[in-house]
Amino acid sequence: MDSAPHQWWQTGVVYQIYPRSFMDANGDGTGDLAGIQKRLDYLQWLGVDALWLSPIYPSPMADFGYDVANYVDVDPLFGHLDDFDRLLAEVHRRGMRLLLDFVPNHTSDQHPWFVASRASRENPWRDWYIWRDPMPNGGPPNNWTSFFGGDAWTLDPATGQYYLHLFDSRQPDLNWRRPEVRAAMYDAMHFWMERGVDGFRVDVMWLMVKDAQLRDNPPTPGWKLGDSPGTRQIMRYSADQPETHQIVREMRALLDGYGERVLIGEIYLPLPRLLTYYGDHLDEAHLPFNFQLVRLPWQAAVVRQAVEDYEAALPPGAWPNWVLSNHDNSRIASRISLAQARVAQMLLLMLRGTPTCYYGDELGMRDGAIPPELEVDPLAKLSPGYGRDPERTPMQWDASPNAGFSRATPWLPVGEDYPTVNVEAERSDPRSTLTLIRQLLALRRSLPALTVGSYRTASVTGDDLFLYLREADGQRMLVALNFGSAPRTVDASAVGSQGTVLLSTHLDREGVTDLTGLELRGDEGLVIQID
Ligand code: NOJ
């Protein structure tokens, strides 16, 4: 095992809060910072270590905060800087950490920089964004398309040029080739570091720089209307440009100047490209988000291969990480059955590396059903069927009206299952998903083999089965997962003859077990200490 001392972001578990949806303290139907503060006892009880807040900056909310109008303040919807400082102090008092979302690729079109930039062709801010003349036929400067659907260019009639936006037209892309842009953004990072923030999750890290010549992207073979807009083109020239790495190194150096802070990168790229964001000298992102579990089909052989490939490909010294759900993807308990979602949570929390949990997944919350008239996500409007509102519904605290989230009508409807799927009900149920997650987190924390131990696939195969070992200091843990609903018996004697079950996803089984004929019930995962 890796015997170097570990940092908090290696041993800890990250919990993503979508602030609009976590807890509304002021009764306006939208979550806020004071609401998060009210629920810190819960998060501490649950046993997570670091809270990552999706954007809380002033924003017109065209993309619900991912359109930032001021990088160094808090949107009044969420509170004020005072509330933020109070929240941060309370998080720290509890021994937890707080991470912010940093959105460097684009601003809001209401940001004063863009307002100035679009005012005339000559103004000093013009080049802070990416402006180009129309093609001779009046069309956009190249063929790039937006992640949300349609062209990535919008014509500004007043100045006669197009500006680039890889997302909504109200999210113009910054020009990171300009030193002034970098300096301004780094100032904003310093602002939050000085306040004591423990790190950043950097939005679309791999998109920050564009090809200097803005060459056309090749189309994705076989893509047809109705497929996801984000996969329409091979983003050869609009993403993952070599110059990006220098910027990530600069961000990392900035954070390193403050001690033990963490830099997490949101990066959707194939594995070999993703891993380059650790940096040639591990001097870029500490954790380039690994979204394989979000993307892959839930099949034992596929997941096992992905874990092995990832473990084998990680650069020496690079720390792994895993994600199961987030605010841009359908929740795990909607992608697969709830029973299998529990197996998936055991996988997430028992793999080597830092897990990121999405708020509400610990309850088995599912995607909400959002009637078309209540859809608010810009993606839903531009590309019907791809909206992300369903995975952003309010946290389900109890069985009272609005699930205890708010006194007012929530900004998105509460999930229909809230009368039973909620914190209060699950807390007192010894078999609930919440109880399982809490026990998994406690087990992970208490056993070095599970926190920092090595990973090895167990040479035990069988349909629907994935077994692996975590080891440290002579301690050996076997994680045995049944990805199917049928019971399976497997000979795991290659690992040992006997073990002790510490935890089952069914929460009804502990004690000595024979490994020569290890029995797994349908949808069962086990953590077994090898005697
Ligand atoms: C990625 C974020 O996770 C997503 O929610 C957002 O819409 C885009 N970046 C644009 O900021």
In a domain, 84, yes or no: yes
Q: With 90 as the cut, is the pLDDT of residue 2 above it?
A: no
Categorize the per-residue pLDDT at 460 as very low, low, confident or very high, splitting at 50, 70 and 90: confident
CA gap 153, 510 in Å, rounded: 59
pLDDT in tens, 500-529: 999 999 999 999 999 999 999 999 999 999
In a domain, 447, yes or no: no
In a domain, 224, yes or no: yes
Q: Which ligand 1 atom minimizes the distance to the CA of 328?
A: 5
CA gap 338, 340 in Å, rounded: 5
Q: For residue 243, how far is its CA from the centre of ligand 1 (angstroms)? A: 21
pLDDT in tens, 245-277: 999 999 999 999 999 999 999 999 999 999 999
Q: Is the CB–ligand 1 distance for residue 66 below 6 Å?
A: yes
Domain co-membership, 191 together with 270 = yes
* Number of domains observed in the structure of the chain: 3
H/E element, 179: helix 179-195
Q: Is the CB–ligand 1 distance for residue 173 below 6 Å?
A: no
Last residue of a domain, one of 405, 440, 475: 440
Domain co-membership, 246 together with 339 = yes
Domain co-membership, 327 together with 410 = yes
CATH number for the domain spanning 159: value is: 3.90.400.10
Residue-level pLDDT at 467: 98
Looking at the chain, the whole-number percentage of residues with pLDDT higher than 90 is 97
CA gap 229, 147 in Å, rounded: 6
Last residue of a domain, one of 440, 470, 490: 440
Look at ligand 1, atom 4, and give the residue with the nearest C-alpha: 328
Domain co-membership, 102 together with 37 = yes
Residue-level pLDDT at 226: 87
In a domain, 448, yes or no: no
Look at ligand 1, atom 8, and give the residue with the nearest C-alpha: 66
Q: For residue 63, how far is its CA from the centre of ligand 1 (angstroms)? A: 8
pTM above threshold 0.95: yes
pLDDT in tens, 441-458: 999 999 999 999 999 999
Q: For residue 203, how far is its CA from the centre of ligand 1 (angstroms)? A: 7
Categorize the per-residue pLDDT at 282 as very low, low, confident or very high, splitting at 50, 70 and 90: very high
Return the DSSP state at 377.
Answer: -
Mean pLDDT, range 296-301, rounded to an integer: 97
Q: Which ligand 1 atom minimizes the distance to the CA of 103?
A: 11
Give the residue carrying structure tokens 């078309």: 372
Residue-level pLDDT at 1: 46
Domain co-membership, 151 together with 25 = no
CATH number for the domain spanning 371: value is: 3.20.20.80
In a domain, 445, yes or no: no
pLDDT in tens, 479-502: 999 999 999 999 999 999 999 999
Residue-level pLDDT at 143: 97
Looking at the chain, the whole-number percentage of residues with pLDDT higher than 70 is 99
* Domain, as residue range, for 490: 455-530
In a domain, 446, yes or no: no
Domain co-membership, 503 together with 389 = no
Residue-level pLDDT at 4: 66
In a domain, 172, yes or no: no
Domain co-membership, 100 together with 144 = no
Mean pLDDT, range 351-374, rounded to an integer: 97
3-state helix, strand, coil in the chain (%, to 5): 30, 20, 50
Domain co-membership, 72 together with 197 = yes
Q: For residue 137, how far is its CA from the centre of ligand 1 (angstroms)? A: 32
Domain co-membership, 492 together with 411 = no
Q: With 70 as the cut, is the pLDDT of residue 424 above it?
A: yes
In a domain, 374, yes or no: yes
Q: Is the CB–ligand 1 distance for residue 103 below 6 Å?
A: yes
Q: Is the CB–ligand 1 distance for residue 63 below 6 Å?
A: yes
The pick from 102, 203, 391 for probing ligand 1's pocket by mutation, whose C-beta has the most ligand atoms within 8 angstroms, reads: 203
Last residue of a domain, one of 164, 199, 231: 164
Domain co-membership, 133 together with 182 = no
Per the prediction, the chain carries an average pLDDT of 97
Domain co-membership, 303 together with 391 = yes
Domain co-membership, 210 together with 317 = yes
pLDDT in tens, 155-186: 999 999 999 999 999 999 999 999 999 999 99
H/E element, 149: none
Q: Is the CB–ligand 1 distance for residue 203 below 6 Å?
A: yes
